[in-house]
A and B are shown apart, each in its own frame.
Chain A
Amino acid sequence: MSTGPALFSILRQGQYLVASVHTALDDSQMLRLQGDLVEEVGRSRSRGIIIDVAALDVLDSFGTKTLGAIAEMARLRGATTVIVGIQPDVAFAMVQLGMGTGAVATALDLEEGLAFLDDTLALPSTVRHGQ
Chain B
Amino acid sequence: MTATSAGVEGPPPEADELLALLRRVVGARVGGHPDAEDLVQEAYLRVLAASDRIDPGMTEAYAVTTARNLVASHWRQGDRFKRHQHRLVDLDEPDDPVRRMEGIEDQGAMARALATFTDDERELLVAHEVHGTPTAKLAAEQNSTAGAVAAKLHRLRARLRVEYLLAHENIDLPSDECRPVLVAVSLRDRRRQRETKAENHRLRCEVCQDLALRLEQQEPERDDFARIRIAVDADIVTARQKARELASALGFPGVDLTVIATAVSEMTRNIVRFAGEGQVEIELVNGEAPGRRGVQVIVRDAGPGIPDIEAAMRDGYSTYHGLGLGLPGARRLMDDFELVTADGRGTTITMTKWQQGAKK
User: Count the A-B residue pairs with Cβ separation under 8 angstroms: how many?
Assistant: 84
Q: Mark B252-291, 1 if CB is under 8 A from A, else 0.
A: 0011011101110110010010000000000000000000
Selected from B237, B263, B266, B272, the residue in CB contact (under 8 A) with A24 is: B237
Interface centre among A29, A61, A88, A90 (most CB of B within 10 A): A61
- Say if the beta carbon of A118 comes within 8 Å of chain B: no
- Say if the beta carbon of B110 comes within 8 Å of chain A: no
* A residues near B236, Cβ cutoff 8 Å: 26-27
* A residues near B322, Cβ cutoff 8 Å: 61-62, 65
* Complex alpha-carbon distance, A78 and B329, angstroms: 34
> In chain B, what residue has the closest Cβ to A89?
B258
* Complex alpha-carbon distance, A61 and B326, angstroms: 7
* B residues near A92, Cβ cutoff 8 Å: 255, 258-259
**Which of A8-16, A43-51, A94-102, A119-127 is the contact stretch?**
A94-102
* Complex alpha-carbon distance, A57 and B241, angstroms: 8
- Say if the beta carbon of A104 comes within 8 Å of chain B: no
B271 to chain A, nearest CB (A): 12
- Say if the beta carbon of B8 comes within 8 Å of chain A: no
Q: CB within 8 Å of A: which of B150-189?
A: none
Q: How large is the interface on A (under 10, 10 to 19, 20 to 34, 35 or more residues)?
A: 20 to 34
Judge whether A57 and B259 touch: CB under 8 Å.
no
Judge whether B323 and A61 touch: CB under 8 Å.
yes
> In chain B, what residue has the closest Cβ to A94?
B262
* B residues near A27, Cβ cutoff 8 Å: 233, 236, 269, 272
Judge whether A65 and B261 touch: CB under 8 Å.
no
* B residues near A106, Cβ cutoff 8 Å: none
> In chain B, what residue has the closest Cβ to A28?
B233
> In chain B, what residue has the closest Cβ to A97?
B329
Judge whether B323 and A64 touch: CB under 8 Å.
yes
- Say if the beta carbon of A60 comes within 8 Å of chain B: yes
Q: CB within 8 Å of B: which of A54-96?
A: 57-62, 64-65, 87-90, 92-94, 96
* A residues near B240, Cβ cutoff 8 Å: 24, 57-58
Judge whether A99 and B325 touch: CB under 8 Å.
yes
* A residues near B234, Cβ cutoff 8 Å: 2, 26, 28
Assess A93 versus B269: contact at CB under 8 Å? Given A28-B233, A57-B261.
no
* Complex alpha-carbon distance, A62 and B332, angstroms: 17
Judge whether B323 and A58 touch: CB under 8 Å.
no
* Complex alpha-carbon distance, A80 and B249, angstroms: 42
Judge whether A97 and B325 touch: CB under 8 Å.
yes
Judge whether A93 and B315 touch: CB under 8 Å.
no
Assess A58 versus B332: contact at CB under 8 Å? Given A26-B233, A89-B257, A93-B255.
no
Judge whether A93 and B326 touch: CB under 8 Å.
no
- Say if the beta carbon of B333 comes within 8 Å of chain A: yes
A24 to chain B, nearest CB (A): 5
Judge whether B255 and A88 touch: CB under 8 Å.
yes
> In chain B, what residue has the closest Cβ to A62?
B269
Q: Mark B303-323, 1 if CB is under 8 A from A, else 0.
A: 000000000000100000011
* Complex alpha-carbon distance, A58 and B323, angstroms: 16
* B residues near A94, Cβ cutoff 8 Å: 262
Judge whether A97 and B254 touch: CB under 8 Å.
no
Judge whether B255 and A61 touch: CB under 8 Å.
no
Judge whether A96 and B332 touch: CB under 8 Å.
yes
* B residues near A90, Cβ cutoff 8 Å: 258
- Say if the beta carbon of B23 comes within 8 Å of chain A: no
* Complex alpha-carbon distance, A88 and B256, angstroms: 11
Q: CB within 8 Å of B: which of A20-39?
A: 24-29
Judge whether B244 and A57 touch: CB under 8 Å.
yes
Judge whether B323 and A99 touch: CB under 8 Å.
yes
User: Which 3 residue pairs of A and B lie closest in terms of their CB atoms, listed nearest first?
Assistant: A97-B329, A89-B258, A26-B233
Can you list 21 A-B pairs with a CB-CB distance of less than 8 A?
Answer: A2-B233, A24-B240, A26-B233, A26-B234, A27-B236, A57-B244, A58-B262, A60-B262, A60-B265, A60-B266, A60-B269, A61-B266, A89-B259, A93-B261, A96-B329, A97-B262, A97-B263, A97-B329, A98-B329, A99-B323, A99-B329
Beyond A89-B254, A93-B255, list 17 extra A-B contacts (CB 8 Å): A24-B237, A24-B240, A26-B237, A57-B244, A59-B262, A61-B322, A61-B326, A62-B269, A89-B257, A92-B258, A93-B261, A96-B333, A97-B263, A97-B325, A97-B333, A98-B328, A98-B329
Question: Which residues of chain A have a CB within 8 Å of any CB of chain B?
Answer: 2, 24-29, 57-62, 64-65, 87-90, 92-94, 96-99
Question: Which residues of chain B have a CB within 8 Å of any CB of chain A?
Answer: 233-234, 236-237, 240-241, 244, 254-255, 257-259, 261-263, 265-266, 269, 272, 315, 322-323, 325-326, 328-330, 332-333
